[in-house]
């Protein structure tokens, strides 16, 4: 039997070379920091979203390439989980609880109010790019609802009036300190 | 003399202003040049009193609440550092009837200790269970858990000891311990309170499980809606490693137990154990067919114990005090105690840990004090979004797995959501279907398609469009979902829907529907 000579054909260049630098760095660092973990894909996706605020669809080929997965697999995972975003969010994401215990104390009218006040529906981002509104199914604050979370800050016994105050205070910059500390504690 | 003040760092207390209170307290103490040591704790779970602070006096810890930042100066004026009189003074915290009349076997340290201080944990009995377990044969640990009668607190109430025995007996070089901290049910927060208030207790329980079944590796799968629990758990795990309670050589025993925290990503279905395992492996959280059981082929195909946070957290006391001690609490086949959560429209919401046997009525009125709105209670939903809606006539049911199942309900993770008489039960039924549609993993048709059809049928029913036919259709659909779904999401969604229809039929007949019925 004769040895066949192996020829390597570069059928695929490394994807992601045309990504914006911030996205490419975010992906590569997330991958390198978590690659050794068993079942590393979710930690990697979290790390990317923590850094960029979303998971740009154009990064999927690079993530897949780095993990030796197919693009379809990565796409399947990103789209399965409600938390992973494929669109850039506003400066702050407001997670509004829609679940039963909050419904029992007025979440439905709070939801209507929030949508009206921000001029957006769920998953939308306000015209000024400040807020994205997301539904969430329980924040574990069910004895003190209605509840919402902005970044990592939880608010209880929310009313339409308090919601307006919160937005007004934020517009005045009062919660910017909270927002920075929230970003800093993200593990 | 320096005074010690305890203020929660727990999420509900924070959501009601605990951070500003802590800040105001530190500032006011500095201004007055009072030596005050502030200890951040978990919450006792008396939420209508949060933010509640406690002051250590020579006699007892005296509570004040609910405190807002603006009250702080007045508290100093009133001499609260020595337990002084003030309109917010609640007396010795342990004498508050809500707390005094509880049996806190699992949650005894909540709000008492600094959750990330290992010395504090040990000073309150922490790691006594592990110390005992290290001196026991694995099979003896499993037997103690079996004998205690502990059943899974995540919902299915499967005997924990039997699950552990299966994993113990399963061949395999590598085994895993997985903690289900996905706590997705609305109306539940006991897992969160435990992780934020006593994280070492969970770590200890999982370590004991590892010793019992021969697993050296563990994961806590935590939902990403719980950032505060994430912070506490992260700190506690690092501390436990540094002190030798986790790692290659647990307390010099020569036995290893490694523990990692993993975050979910907002999928209710990932609370189901096989879906959770898929997620941990880095995939879509789709349900696996059973068999094989996770106990035999679980994480990465290895034998795996999957238990709820409260299940694991109940193990240390069983190993510390003995199986019989735990088993002496409870009724029937429900042994020990359950951390019950009072939620929704309730005047005194919070955590009530009682031995099984306490009735729904006692919980709703004696503890809960009726609704927050002051209106009559019309319905309660026990057991999360898949639990039945019950009317007043069921309130004498005792908290007991079999009694609830016998009444067509489910105790689940022990969450009770209260609704007053303004609730629209047709809207609740519709929401149950909608929730199922949003959270379905998509693997089987009755759930994936049925839930969407369910929303449509309820809409037509409420609109008065051929109501008799829609009712038949809805019941038929529920029957298909109940019997044809692969897992309990599709399989139990009919419970809230049908119970709403059966117990509150009047809500499904709007004026339009009544008119249509007359025609
Ligand atoms: C749709 C669905 C959601 C579930 N969510 C949770 C959950 O959030 N937490 C939990 O501990 N168990 C949950 N379970 C139950 C788990 O599948 C499993 O029974 C449990 O984690 C086993 O632990 P235990 O025996 O200690 O209760 C869920 C089950 C289903 C069908
Ligand atoms: S019942 Fe729903 S969640 Fe469960 S396997 Fe079927 S589609 Fe998935
Ligand atoms: S239901 Fe809204 S926080 Fe739990």
Instruction: Kindly state the average pLDDT of the residues B14-23.
Output: 98
Same-domain check for residues B405 and B432? no
Portion 87-126 of A in contact with B at CB < 8 A: 95, 99-105, 108
Q: Which of residues 170-199 of B touch A (CB under 8 A)?
A: 183-189, 192
Claim to verify: residue B212 and residue B270 sit in the same structural domain: yes
Q: Are B434 and B455 in contact (CB under 8 A)?
A: yes
Same domain, residue pair B322 and B383: no
pLDDT, position B510: 66
Strand-by-strand arrangement of the B217-222 sheet: B258-263, B217-222, B176-181, B304-308
Residues 6+ positions from A71 with CB-CB distance below 8 Å: A60, A61, A64
Question: What was the pLDDT predicted at B116?
Answer: 98
Looking at the complex, report in whole angstroms how far the Cα of residue B178 sits from the nearest Cα belonging to chain A. 13
Closest CA to B143 of B327, B295, B323, B316: B323
Does a structural domain hold residue B220? yes
In the beta sheet, which residues pair with residue A147?
Answer: none
DSSP at B365: I
Instruction: Write B511-518 long-range contacts (CB < 8 A, 24+).
Output: B512/B463, B512/B464, B513/B461, B513/B462, B513/B463, B513/B464, B513/B467, B514/B464, B515/B464, B516/B464, B516/B465, B516/B466, B516/B467, B517/B464, B517/B467, B517/B468
What pLDDT score does A180 carry?
A: 38
Mutation pick from B23, B175, B197, B282 vs chain A, by most beta carbons of A within 10 Å, is B282
> CA–CA separation, B333 vs B316, rounded Å?
21
Helix (H) or strand (E) holding B471: helix B467-484
Nearest CA in chain A to B186: A138
Structural domain that includes position B452: 425-518
3-class state of residue B126 by DSSP: coil
pLDDT per residue as tens digits for the range B110-143? 999 999 999 999 999 999 999 999 999 999 999 9
Residues 130-149 in B contacting A (C-alpha not used; CB under 8 Å): none
> 3-class SS at B362?
helix
- The answer as to whether B80 is a domain residue is yes
How far is residue B354's CA from residue A37's CA, in Å, rounded to a whole number? Answer: 40
pLDDT recorded at residue A12:
62
Which residues share a beta bridge with B148? none
Residue B515 pLDDT exceeds 70? no
Domain spans of chain A, in order of start:
21-80, 92-186
Number of domains in chain B: 4
Q: Which of B455, B461, B458 is nearest to B509 (CA)?
A: B461
Question: How much is the mean pLDDT over chain B?
Answer: 97
Q: What are phi and psi of B365, to 5 degrees?
A: -105, -50
Q: Are residues B413 and B461 in the same domain?
A: no
Q: Which of B326, B353, B383 is the last residue of a domain?
A: B326
Do B278 and B349 have their domain in common? no
Summary count for chain B: helices (H), strands (E): 24, 16
Kindly state whether residue B108 falls inside one of the protein's structural domains: no
pLDDT score, position A7? 79
User: Taking 90 as the threshold, does the pLDDT of residue A11 lie above it?
Assistant: no
**Per-residue model confidence as pLDDT tens digits over A55-113:** 999 999 999 999 999 999 999 999 999 999 999 999 999 999 999 999 999 999 999 99
Residues B285/B276, Cβ–Cβ less than 8 Å:
yes
Alpha carbons B508 and B519: distance in angstroms, whole number: 17
Query: Given this model, what pLDDT does residue A187 score?
Result: 30
- In eight-state DSSP terms, residue B55 is E
Q: Which of B66, B100, B134 is the last residue of a domain?
A: B100
Calpha distance B217→B304 (Å, rounded): 10
Q: Does domain A92-186 have CATH number 3.40.50.300?
A: no
Instruction: State how far residue B140 is from chain A, nearest Cα, in angstroms.
Output: 31
Whether B106 maps to a domain, the answer reads no
Half-sphere exposure of B277 (CA within 13 A, CB side): 24
CATH number for the domain spanning B96: value is 3.40.30.10
Q: How far is B459 from chain A (nearest CA, A)?
A: 17
Residue B276, token pair as written in the block: 């959770």
Q: How confident is the model at residue B2 (pLDDT cuts 50, 70, 90)?
A: confident
pLDDT the model gives residue A6:
82
């Amino acid at each position: 039997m004769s040895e066949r000579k192996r020829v390597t054909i570069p059928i695929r260049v490394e994807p992601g070379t045309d990504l914006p630098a911030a996205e490419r760095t975010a992906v590569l660092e997330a991958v390198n920091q978590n690659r050794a973990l068993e079942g590393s894909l979710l930690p990697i996706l979290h790390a990317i979203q923590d850094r960029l605020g979303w998971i740009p669809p154009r990064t999927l080929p690079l993530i897949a390439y780095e993990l030796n997965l197919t693009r379809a697999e990565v796409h399947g995972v990103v789209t399965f989980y409600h938390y992973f975003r494929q669109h850039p969010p506003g400066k702050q994401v407001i997670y509004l609880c829609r679940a039963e215990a909050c419904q029992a104390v007025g979440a439905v009218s709070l939801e209507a109010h929030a949508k009206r006040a921000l001029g957006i529906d769920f998953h939308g981002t306000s015209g000024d790019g400040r807020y994205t509104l997301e539904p969430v199914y329980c924040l574990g604050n069910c004895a003190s609802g209605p509840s919402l979370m902005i970044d990592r800050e939880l608010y209880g016994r929310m009313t339409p009036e308090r919601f307006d105050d919160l937005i007004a205070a934020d517009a005045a910059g009062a919660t910017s300190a909270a927002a920075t500390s929230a970003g800093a504690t993200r593990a | 003399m320096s005074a010690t003040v305890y203020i929660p760092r727990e999420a509900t207390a924070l959501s009601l202003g605990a951070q500003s209170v802590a800040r105001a307290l530190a500032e006011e103490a500095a201004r007055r040049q009072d030596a005050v040591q502030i200890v951040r704790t978990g919450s006792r779970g008396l939420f209508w009193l949060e933010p509640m602070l406690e002051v250590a006096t020579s006699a007892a810890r005296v509570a004040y609440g609910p405190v807002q930042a603006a009250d702080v100066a007045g508290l100093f004026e009133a001499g609260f550092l020595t337990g002084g009189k003030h309109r917010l003074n609640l007396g010795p915290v342990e004498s508050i009837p809500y707390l005094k009349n509880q049996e806190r076997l699992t949650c005894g340290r909540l709000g008492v200790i600094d959750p990330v201080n290992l010395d504090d944990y040990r000073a309150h009995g922490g790691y006594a269970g592990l110390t005992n377990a290290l001196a026991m044969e694995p099979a003896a640990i499993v037997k103690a858990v079996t004998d205690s009668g502990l059943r899974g607190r995540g919902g299915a109430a499967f005997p924990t000891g039997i699950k552990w025995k299966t994993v113990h007996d399963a061949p395999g070089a590598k085994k895993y311990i997985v903690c289900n901290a996905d706590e997705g049910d609305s109306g539940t927060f006991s897992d969160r309170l435990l992780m934020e208030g006593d994280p070492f207790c969970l770590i200890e329980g999982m370590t004991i499980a590892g010793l019992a079944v021969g697993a050296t590796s563990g994961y806590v799968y935590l939902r990403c809606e719980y950032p505060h629990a994430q912070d506490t758990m992260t700190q506690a795990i690092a501390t436990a490693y540094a002190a030798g309670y986790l790692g290659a050589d647990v307390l010099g025993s020569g036995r290893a137990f490694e523990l990692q925290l993993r975050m979910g990503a907002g999928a209710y279905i990932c609370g189901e154990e096989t879906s959770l395992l898929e997620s941990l492996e880095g995939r879509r959280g789709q349900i696996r067919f059973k068999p094989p059981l996770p106990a035999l082929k679980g994480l990465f195909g290895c034998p795996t114990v999957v238990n709820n946070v409260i299940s694991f957290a109940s193990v240390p006391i069983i190993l510390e005090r003995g199986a019989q001690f735990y088993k002496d609490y409870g009724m029937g086949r429900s042994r020990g105690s359950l951390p019950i959560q009072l939620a929704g429209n309730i005047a005194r919401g919070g955590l009530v840990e009682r031995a099984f046997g306490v009735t729904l009525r006692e919980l709703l009125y004696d503890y809960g004090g009726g609704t927050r709105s002051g209106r009559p209670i019309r319905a309660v939903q026990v057991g999360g979004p898949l639990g039945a809606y019950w009317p007043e006539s069921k309130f004498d049911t005792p908290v007991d797995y079999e009694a609830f199942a016998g009444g067509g309900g489910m105790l689940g993770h022990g969450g009770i959501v209260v609704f007053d008489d303004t609730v629209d039960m047709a809207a609740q039924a519709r929401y149950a279907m909608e929730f199922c549609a949003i959270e379905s993993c998509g693997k089987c048709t009755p759930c994936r398609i049925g839930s969407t059809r369910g929303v449509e049928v309820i809409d037509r029913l409420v609109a008065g469009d051929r109501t008799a036919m829609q009712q038949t259709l809805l019941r038929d659909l529920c029957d298909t979902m109940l019997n044809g779904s692969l897992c309990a999401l599709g399989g139990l969604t009919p419970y809230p829907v049908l119970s709403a229809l059966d117990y509150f039929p009047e809500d499904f007949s709007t004026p339009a529907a009544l008119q249509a019925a007359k025609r």
